[in-house]
Structure 1
Amino acid sequence: MTVDLDKYFTRIAWDGDRAPTLATLRSLHRAHVLGIPFENLDVVIGEVPSLDLRDLQAKLVESARGGYCFEHNSLFAAVLERLGFAVRRLTGRVRAGARPWEERPRTHMVLAVEIPGVPGRYLADVGYGNTGALLEPLPMVPGQEHETAGRRHRLVLEEADGPAPIWVVQVRGSGGWQDQTAFTMDRVPVADLVLGNWFTATYPRSPFHRLYVQRTLATGHHLLLDGTTFVRTAPDGTRSVREIENPGDLRDLLHTEFGLTPPAGFRPPTRRA
């Protein structure tokens, strides 16, 4: 099966030129981030999200659902390949929030994209979700800063002279440059992506057992954490916090603010004492 491009473009409200150019890659990346929310509802109800393209299209494109990094970037890779881009699937470690001595497993998926006739590669990641996520792909040039809608990113190289240089995505915050994710350029077969996806969904200490829903908007960012705390972030960084008091409010919020219809079996979590 191949992805249905017309349905996908309708889902993300995109009607641009389908030629495999840098302009197409940039606009598609932004439209996907704005068009499909980040959510882990399947994991919360005890299921492992499928990475089969048929299932990804049914869930992220044809339903009022979203997904997390393995789902988003697997779907986006299939779209890009249909359009004529060359895509290398990669896995990396989320460093945001990690302690200095902590090395997390490879539970994040990113893409290295080549554009026909254009030298070099671009890093694409439509599945990070949070307020510091990439809106557009990054040129894979170490140290080159890139700003989109006030978000500043760059790539740096660690162990550049070693057998597997480590690329680190950094975001500019109030305290300076902060590591976001780290990855190498080793091509990751789909079988390994399936394994990483399964581990992320089933490992008892995975953070994704907590309800975690995000939506990036042109007018800011929405975050729903644990099903009990709703955070709006304005473009200037101003945050407002609302505590969710009952299950009915949570379901309404998922629909009105995130455009989501929960799967069968979803039970709103109760507030922690």
Structure 2
Amino acid sequence: MSVDLDKYFARIGWDGERAPTLATLRSLQHAHVLAVPFENIDVVVGTVPSLEVADLEAKIVTGSRGGYCFEHNTLFAAVLEQLGYEVARHTGRVRAGARPGEIRPRTHLVLAVRVPGATGARHLADVGFGSRDALLEPLPMVPGLVREGRGRRHRLVLEEADGPVPVWVLQIRSGDAWRDLVSFTLDPAPPPDIDLANWYVATHPRSPFRRLFAQRTLADGHLSLDGTTLTRTAGDGTATVEELDGERGVREVLESEFGIAPPPGVRPRR
């Protein structure tokens, strides 16, 4: 199943050169992150999000919705492959917010993208992380290389692992220190493994995604909705927090500020 590229590009407000170049990859990722919000409404209303490309197109491209990492990056990978990029899918562990020594399951999806004809490294692409620390543009997969883009500084480092496959760690510069965001390995993640991780995230009783989350990256800030708590963060890092008035307040904010048309039955837990 292919994606209707005209509709997808209209959805993200992109009108660049449709050639598989590094410049196109950069502008596409940035446009997608700004246009499509992160949200887990399907999980909250009791369904497992479909990762079929046709379903993702109907939901995200034409349905005024967002999604979480598996949905965003599955759709983005399909678009990139149609344009002629070589895309590998890898599952990772979210380290942001983890306790020291905590090992989380592989509940995140990232993409390693190779530009046709390019002699340099592959690039890490991820349009589904959601937070204000997320990559706004793809990052060259060169250990230790620091890339500053649109006010955020990221790098990839390699860790020694117990097994035969090295562990890559995406980090962000926070103050005077580097902070881990996601770790992953470059062993392939075939569709059944991605489907299993998607099902686990959507159905496990202790999954954090059983509570409503929505995030939107703005050109000059960030919006975050956690249950009924809305946080608006300005470009300078100044944050304001507002407690919304239950289900009605949440629906109004999802529609007016996140650009999401939520289905019936969204009942956020505090």
**More deviation, 154-163/211-220:** 154-163
Mark the CA change 1:47 to 1:161 in structure 2 (over 3 Å): closer, same or farther.
closer
Name the counterpart of 1:30: 30
Write the letter of the residue equivalent to 1:28. L
Cα shift at 1:40? 0.1
Distance 2:106 2:48 in 1: 17
The 3-state SS of whatever aligns with 2:39 is: coil
Name the counterpart of 1:255: 255
Cα shift at 1:245? 2.0
Name the counterpart of 2:193: 192
Distance 1:165 1:112 in 2: 15
Distance 1:267 1:77 in 2: 29
Matched, 1:48 2:57: no
Cα shift at 1:149? 1.3
Write the letter of the residue equivalent to 1:95. R
Cα shift at 1:159? 1.2
The 3-state SS of whatever aligns with 1:110 is: strand
Distance 2:63 2:199 in 1: 22
The 3-state SS of whatever aligns with 2:56 is: helix
Cα shift at 1:161? 9.8
Number of residue pairs matched? 269
The 3-state SS of whatever aligns with 2:65 is: coil
Cα shift at 1:160? 7.1
The 3-state SS of whatever aligns with 2:79 is: helix
Distance 2:161 2:24 in 1: 31
- Percent same amino acid at aligned positions? 64
Matched, 1:111 2:111: yes
The 3-state SS of whatever aligns with 1:199 is: helix
Write the letter of the residue equivalent to 2:76. F
After superposition, the C-alpha distances for 1:16-38 in whole angstroms (9 at most, x for unaligned) are 00110000000000000001000
After superposition, the C-alpha distances for 1:107-138 in whole angstroms (9 at most, x for unaligned) are 00000000011122000000000010000000
Matched, 1:132 2:114: no
Cα shift at 1:186? 0.5
For residues 173-184 of structure 1, the aligned pairs below 5 Å read 173-184=174-185
Does the 8 Å contact 2:246/2:268 carry over to 1? no
The 3-state SS of whatever aligns with 2:257 is: helix
Provide structure 2 residue ranges, at least 5 long, that are not aligned to the other structure. none
For residues 195-210 of structure 1, the aligned pairs below 5 Å read 195-210=196-211
Name the counterpart of 1:269: 268
For residues 225-244 of structure 1, the aligned pairs below 5 Å read 225-226=226-227, 228-244=228-244
Cα shift at 1:176? 1.1
Q: TM-score, normalised by structure 2?
A: 0.97
Cα shift at 1:82? 0.2
